[in-house]
Amino acid sequence: MQTRKRRALERRLLRPVRRFDENMLIANISELPFERRKAVLDEGLNTLLSVQLFEVSQHLDSAGKVDVFRFISDQKAVSTRS
């Protein structure tokens, strides 16, 4: 993927315009055991990502969709190595 396109994609995916109230989220899961809390957060983040991907994919051609999914796959690979 071209560097300019990649930076634009990173800005869109990694810096969302809307934010959740972190205190509300923490309060909702703070009483859960650590492993359950981790699973709930992971599930929630995956749901948010799925919704965003669905919205974005409606405006992309086939090559654009491939670029987005490749970018996400690359990011997952980087995060699992860390």
- Look up residue 13 and give its DSSP letter: H
81 vs 45, higher pLDDT: 45
pLDDT value of position 1: 46
pTM: 0.54
User: Which residue segment(s) compose the domain that 39 sits in?
Assistant: 3-81
Region 36-50 average pLDDT: 88
DSSP states along 26-51: HHHHTTS-HHHHHHHHHHHHHHHHHH
Cβ–Cβ < 8 Å for 60, 68 = yes
- Cα 3 from Cα 33, distance rounded (Å): 42
Q: What is the pLDDT of residue 31?
A: 87
Model confidence over 6-21: pLDDT tens digits? 666 666 555 555 566 6
Distance CA 52, CA 48 (A): 6
Share above pLDDT 90 across residues of the chain, in percent, rounded to a whole number: 13
Q: pLDDT tier at 63 (50, 70, 90 boundaries)?
A: very high
The total number of structural domains that make up the chain: 1
Taking Cα atoms as reference points, which of 56, 65, 29 lies closest to residue 44? 29
Contact indicator for 32, 40 with CB cutoff of 8 Å: yes
